Structure 1
Amino acid sequence: MAPPSRWSCTLLLAALGAATASELQIPLIPQQSPSRAGNALGKPLVNTDDLQASIKIESLVERAKDLYEIAQKSVHEYGHPTRVIGSEGHAGTLEYIYSALESLGGYYTLSEQPFPAVLGKVYESRLVIGHEVPESASPMSLTPPTAHKEPVYGDLVLVANEGCDASDYPAEVTGNVAFVLRGTCSFGAKSELAGKAGAVAAIVYNYDSGDLSGTLESPTPDHVATFGLSGKDAGPIIEKLKAGKVVDSIAYIDAEVKQIQTTNIIAQTVEGDPDNCVMLGGHSDSVSEGPGINDDGSGSLTLLEVATQLTNFSVNNCVRFAWWAGEEEGLLGSDYYVEVLPEEENMKIRLFMDYDMMGSPNFAYQVYNATNAANPEGSEELRNLYLDWYADQGLNYTFIPFDGRSDYDAFIRNGIPGGGIATGAEGIKTKEEETMFGGVAGDWYDPCYHQLCDDTGNVNSTAWLVNTKLVAHSVATFALSFDGFPERSKASMQSASEEPAKYHGHRLVL
C-alpha cells in the first residue's frame, strides 16, 4: 500500500475535528505586502500579447494526460477513473495542483482551505406507478434511501399548490407517496415537508413535458427518498388522481449521503496591490461517473497553465487563483469560501472570473450574459472584455444565461462582479451555431458530459487553446490596471441578489 499523501493527512486532521481553516492555522486569504510594477522581482510588467503567446496547446495536453492518470487511482474503489471528492483521484488532483504551484519559486502565496462537504451516491433505484415504470423517473441528487434501503409501497397523493407549505400536504400523505408539482420553492423543501407529513417517498413532477433531474441540496433528517418525473409522464397520472381514482406505487432507492472533508486551493501573487485583486477559479473535482477531463479538468488546467506562465511577469494588482472542491455536489467549495470571507476581504476582490469547461468537443464560444442591471456593477464590463477579444480574433460567440450553474454564483450573490466563458455541456447545438462554430447541430456540446468517456479524447484542442489565451488576456488586463473598471462599494454588497436561482451548480434546485 502506498503511503498516504499530504492531502489524505490534511483531510484526516480535518475529519478529526479541525473543520475550519483557522483551526488548522491555514489562512483563508494569502497575506502579502503591496508591490508595484514588479520591481522586486526584476521582471517585465505583464503584457497581454506576451502572456497569450506563452500559452501552448502541447503543455495543456500533457497536463490532461497527467490528470487522467491521476483519475485512474480511483479505479479500485469506483470501478472506473474518477476525481469525485473523497476519492483517491481527487486527492491526487489536489496534490498535483499544489505541487505544481509550489514549484514556481515563491511567486505565489499558497493556502489550503479544508471544509466539510456532503457526498451523495445512488447505487440503485426503481419507481413503479400503477403497472408502469416511467422512463423519465430519476432519483434526486443527495436523496436519502427508502426505509431500510428496501422498496416502499403506497398510493400517490396529490399535494396542493406547489407543496411549499405544510398545509398543502393532506392527511392522506401519511404512509403514502407525495406527488408534488415543481415550482416556487426548492426540491429539498418539498422533500422535507413530505417527510414531516409522514410520506414514505416523494415524487416531484415537472410543470412542462420535459424530464426533471435535480438535487435536494443540504440534507435534513426529514428528507425522504425523492424522484423527479417529467410532465409528460405525470399528465395521465394527475388526470386519474383528480378524477378520484387510486394510483398505487412502489418506490425504491438504495443511496448513501455522507459528510466528508475536502479542500480548496488558493494561490495569490506575492506582488501586486492586495487591496485590488482580480480573482479567477475553476473546480478541481469531477462527477463520480467519470474522470472529468473536460469538466472541469480543462478549466482547472487552464488556470494552472496561466498561473505558471504569469510567473515570467510582474503585476500591478494581485492575482488570486482558486481551485474549488465540491462543485459537482452543488458549488460547495466556492460557497464556503465566500461565506467565511470577512467583509473587508470581500471588498478587495474587484471581480471574479469563472472558467468551467473550456474545450467541449462540439463547442460554441459561450459568454455568460452578465449585465450590470441584474448583477453587481462591473459584471457587464467583464462580459464586454470577452466580447471584444473574440471580435478582435475574428471569432463568433454566443450568450448563455448567467443563472447559477457554476462557481460564480456565491460571488455575485455577495456583491462581487462576476462572469466567465464556457464551451457548452449537455445543451443542444443549433443549426445557427453549427454555421458559427462548426461541429454538429442537434448533438450535445459535450456528448460525454458527466460520463465515463470524458477522458483525454474529449477535449477540443482548438477551443481549449483559444479560450486559455482569452483567460490569459483577462488576467493580464486586470493584473495591469483596473482603470475604467467600476469601484467596489459596500452598497453593492448590501444590494446583492437574494432571489433564489433556478440552478445551484449544474443541477436544478427548484
Structure 2
Amino acid sequence: MRRTTRRWPVMAAATVALVLPLIGPASPAAADPDPAALAKAITAPGVKQHLRELQRIADANGGTRASGTPGFDASATYVAGKLRKAGYKVTVQPFEFPYFEELAEPVLERVSPSPRVFVPTPLSGTPIGEFDTMTQSGSGDVTAPLRAVDLTLPPSPTPGSSTSGCEAADFAGFPAGAIALMQRGTCDFVVKARNAAAAGAVGAIIFNEGQPGRTATLQGTLGEPVTIPVVGTSFAAGENLAAVAGSVVHLKTQTISQIRTTYNVIADSKWGDGNKIVQFGAHLDSVLAGPGINDNGSGSAGILEVALKVGALPTRNKLRFSFWGAEELNLLGSEHYVDTLSPAELGKIKVYLNFDMIASPNYALQIYDGDDSDAVGAGPGPEGSAEIEKLFEKYFDVLRQPHIGTDFTGRSDYGPFIAVGIPSGGLFTGAEVLKTPEQAALFGGTAGQPYDGCYHQSCDTINNISDKALALNTGAIATAAVVYAYSRDLPGPDTRPAPAALRTLHTSGADHHDPTR
C-alpha cells in the first residue's frame, strides 16, 4: 500500500472547522466558545507525538506495553501526567487480573505407538499451528498415558453439545498421572481443566468439536490460572490423538500465570453538568507480542490529544476520557469500571464513544452500526446509538469520504456500556480481517490483505500507521467532543431502566468468539 502524503496531518484541523457548522441542531450556541478555533489546535502531528512517546516506552520495556508489565505502567503514567497538567481530575483505578506470558513454544507429540510431532503455534501467533497453549495454562513437562474423557466421535451434528470433561463424573476411573484428552462443548475450558486436575491429570488437551466452523485450532483462555499444562488443538489433531489406543504423549508448556495488578486511567474535565457525562474510551494496553502502536496506541493518542485541547473549555456537559487496561484479556478494565459504578453513577453517563484502532495501514473507515441498518450480524445498540452513528456519518459525508458500518461484535470496550443500556458508538479501521475488493475500491489499499497486517504482532510499531486515517479519525473525535460538550439534547432517552435490568451476556474478547468456551 502506498504511504499517505504529508497533507493529511494538516487536514485534521481543517476537517473539524469545516464540519462543525454543518452538523445541525446539536452544535454549540453562538455564545459558546468558537469550535472552529479549537479545531485548529487539534492536529494529527500532536497525536503522532503521543504515538512516538508510546513507541519509546515500549522500546525501553522489552518491546511491549501489555497490562501487568512496566511498559503499560509507564504508558499509564504518561497519560495521567498529561491529563493532570491539563487540569483534569484524574483517577487511576487499580484492579487485579490474571496475567499470562508464554516463555517458549509448546511441545505436543505422541511418543508411542505411531510417533507423531504436532506443529505448535509460534509465540508470534502466526501462522496458527495444530495446537496452541491456552491462556492461563500452567507450566509443565510431562510424558504420560493419554486418556480420552467422554468424547463424541464422530461429532454430534449440533455445535456446542459435547459435555466432555464438564462433570466430575466424566473422570470416574481416570488414572492419576495421565493426560486428559477432552473436546470443546457446553462448558468453559477452565471447568474441563480444573476437573481434570482434580482427578489427578498431569496435563490436559482440549480439541475443537468437529462441526463446520468448529474445526480450527483452539486459541482459548482459561480465564484464571490453573496448575497443569493445558493446550487447545484443531479437531483433526484431537481426532488423530483419540484414534490411537494406548497412546503415550509428551506435553510441555513454559508459562507465567499469576494474578497481577493493572489500571484504568479516568479523567474528568472540571467543567460541565456532572449529571450529563459524555465519555470517551480507548484501551491503552498492547498485547505482549508488540508495542501496540495502532492497537491501540492510535485510539488512546487520539482521545488524549482531544482531551488536552478541550480541557480548558467551559462546556455545558461534562467530558470524561477513559484509558482502559487489560482490554486484550477480554475487556477486563472496562468491565471492572462498569461493574464498580452504582446505578445512579451509570445513569449519569449519557454517551459512550469508543476508539480502537483508528489508523490501520490498509484501513477502511468504519462506524459502529448503532441502528443495525444492514440487518445482519449483531443487532442495534441501545436507544440513542443510531444518533451517534449519524453524527459520524455526517462528518465523513461533508468531507466526501466514503464510510461503512461495522457491527457491535463485543470485541472492544463498548461492550460493557452497551450491556447496561448506555448509547454507544465509535470508529474502527480494521484488524486481521481481509479487505474486500469493494472496500479497496472505496478506500484504496490492497484487497485480499488484512486491514492491519501487523495486528497483535511485534511489527505494530510507529511505522504501522496510516497518517490519512489518523487525521480523519482525529477530526471525527474532535467533532464529537465539541458537539456533545455543548449539546442541549444528548442521544438516548432522558431515563432508562436500571442497569441491572439491562445487563445481558455479550460476546467478549479479541477473537470474534468467546475464547473461554
Q: Which amino acid aligns with 1:198?
A: G
The equivalent residue for 1:229 is 233
The equivalent residue for 1:139 is 133
- Distance in structure 2 (CA, Å) of the matches to 1:377 and 1:205: 40
Q: C-alpha deviations, 1:397-456, integer Å up to 9, x for none?
A: 233332221112222223323232211112222222211211112222111112211111
Give the Å deviation of 1:380. Answer: 2.9
Are the counterparts in 2 of residues 318 and 479 from structure 1 also a CA contact under 8 Å?
Answer: yes
What SS does the corresponding residue of 1:347 show, helix, strand or coil?
A: helix
Q: 1:92 to 1:503 in 2, by over 3 A?
A: closer
Q: 1:123 to 1:109 in 2, by over 3 A?
A: same
What SS does the corresponding residue of 2:463 show, helix, strand or coil?
A: helix
What SS does the corresponding residue of 1:263 show, helix, strand or coil?
A: strand
Q: Does 1:202 align with 2:204?
A: yes
Q: C-alpha deviations, 1:46-92, integer Å up to 9, x for none?
A: 566554443212212222112211212213xxxxx211223332222
Task: Give the % identical residues.
Answer: 31
What SS does the corresponding residue of 1:491 show, helix, strand or coil?
A: coil
Q: Does 1:379 align with 2:385?
A: yes
Q: C-alpha deviations, 1:15-67, integer Å up to 9, x for none?
A: xxxxxxxxxxxxxxxxxxxxxx999xxx9735665544432122122221122
Superposition pairs for residues 263-282 of structure 1, below 5 Å?
Answer: 263-282=263-282
Q: 1:247 to 1:282 in 2, by over 3 A?
A: same
The equivalent residue for 1:165 is 166
- Distance in structure 2 (CA, Å) of the matches to 1:295 and 1:167: 40
User: Which of 118, 123, 127 matches 2:108?
Assistant: 127
Q: Which amino acid aligns with 2:234?
A: S
Q: 1:100 to 1:484 in 2, by over 3 A?
A: closer
Give the Å deviation of 1:357. Answer: 1.0
Give the Å deviation of 1:269. Answer: 1.2
The equivalent residue for 2:158 is none
Superposition pairs for residues 425-464 of structure 1, below 5 Å?
Answer: 425-464=431-470
What SS does the corresponding residue of 1:63 show, helix, strand or coil?
A: helix
- Distance in structure 1 (CA, Å) of the matches to 2:494 and 2:251: 51
Q: Which amino acid aligns with 2:451?
A: Y
- Distance in structure 1 (CA, Å) of the matches to 2:277 and 2:449: 39
The equivalent residue for 1:61 is 48
Q: Which amino acid aligns with 1:463?
A: A
- Distance in structure 1 (CA, Å) of the matches to 2:439 and 2:173: 50
- Distance in structure 2 (CA, Å) of the matches to 1:182 and 1:501: 18
- Distance in structure 2 (CA, Å) of the matches to 1:236 and 1:152: 18
- Distance in structure 2 (CA, Å) of the matches to 1:350 and 1:316: 13
Q: Which amino acid aligns with 1:432?
A: E
Q: Does 1:330 align with 2:330?
A: yes
Q: 1:296 to 1:502 in 2, by over 3 A?
A: closer
User: Which of 93, 99, 113 matches 2:75?
Assistant: 93
- Distance in structure 2 (CA, Å) of the matches to 1:387 and 1:177: 54
The equivalent residue for 1:486 is 492
Are the counterparts in 2 of residues 361 and 460 from structure 1 also a CA contact under 8 Å?
Answer: yes
Give the Å deviation of 1:467. Answer: 0.9
The equivalent residue for 2:425 is 419
User: Which of 92, 102, 106 matches 1:112?
Assistant: 92
User: Which of 404, 407, 410 matches 2:410?
Assistant: 404
- Distance in structure 1 (CA, Å) of the matches to 2:393 and 2:191: 39
Q: 1:63 to 1:503 in 2, by over 3 A?
A: closer
Q: C-alpha deviations, 1:132-184, integer Å up to 9, x for none?
A: 314321111122223xxx23423141434243730672435544333333344
Q: Does 1:344 align with 2:351?
A: no
Q: Which amino acid aligns with 2:499?
A: M
Q: C-alpha deviations, 1:165-218, integer Å up to 9, x for none?
A: 306724355443333333443333332333334333223323433332121113
Are the counterparts in 2 of residues 217 and 330 from structure 1 also a CA contact under 8 Å?
Answer: no
Q: 1:94 to 1:59 in 2, by over 3 A?
A: same
The equivalent residue for 1:154 is 145
- Distance in structure 2 (CA, Å) of the matches to 1:370 and 1:176: 50
Can you give the 5+ residue segments of structure 2 that lack an aligned partner in the other structure? 1-26, 120-128, 152-161, 373-378
Superposition pairs for residues 278-357 of structure 1, below 5 Å?
Answer: 278-311=278-311, 313-357=313-357
Q: C-alpha deviations, 1:254-307, integer Å up to 9, x for none?
A: 111122222221111111110010111112221221111111111111111010
**Larger CA deviation: 349-358 vs 378-387:** 378-387
- Distance in structure 2 (CA, Å) of the matches to 1:190 and 1:482: 52
Are the counterparts in 2 of residues 169 and 194 from structure 1 also a CA contact under 8 Å?
Answer: no
Q: Which amino acid aligns with 2:118?
A: V
The equivalent residue for 1:190 is 192
RMSD: 2.8
Q: 1:71 to 1:306 in 2, by over 3 A?
A: same
Are the counterparts in 2 of residues 319 and 479 from structure 1 also a CA contact under 8 Å?
Answer: yes
- Distance in structure 1 (CA, Å) of the matches to 2:464 and 2:493: 40
The equivalent residue for 2:360 is 360
What SS does the corresponding residue of 1:169 show, helix, strand or coil?
A: helix
Give the Å deviation of 1:459. Answer: 0.8
What SS does the corresponding residue of 1:457 show, helix, strand or coil?
A: coil
What SS does the corresponding residue of 2:426 show, helix, strand or coil?
A: strand
Q: Which amino acid aligns with 2:350?
A: R
- Distance in structure 1 (CA, Å) of the matches to 2:446 and 2:207: 32
Are the counterparts in 1 of residues 420 and 499 from structure 2 also a CA contact under 8 Å?
Answer: yes
Q: 1:53 to 1:123 in 2, by over 3 A?
A: same
Number of residue-to-residue matches in the alignment: 455
The equivalent residue for 1:28 is none
Q: 1:164 to 1:307 in 2, by over 3 A?
A: farther
TM-score, L = length of structure 2 = 0.80
- Distance in structure 2 (CA, Å) of the matches to 1:438 and 1:172: 61
Can you give the 5+ residue segments of structure 1 that lack an aligned partner in the other structure? 1-36, 76-80
The equivalent residue for 2:19 is none
Q: C-alpha deviations, 1:108-141, integer Å up to 9, x for none?
A: 2222212223211111211124513143211111
Q: Which amino acid aligns with 2:133?
A: P
- Distance in structure 2 (CA, Å) of the matches to 1:508 and 1:383: 29
Give the Å deviation of 1:386. Answer: 2.5
- Distance in structure 2 (CA, Å) of the matches to 1:501 and 1:168: 30
Q: 1:378 to 1:90 in 2, by over 3 A?
A: same
Are the counterparts in 2 of residues 154 and 176 from structure 1 also a CA contact under 8 Å?
Answer: yes
Are the counterparts in 2 of residues 377 and 486 from structure 1 also a CA contact under 8 Å?
Answer: yes
Q: 1:70 to 1:400 in 2, by over 3 A?
A: same
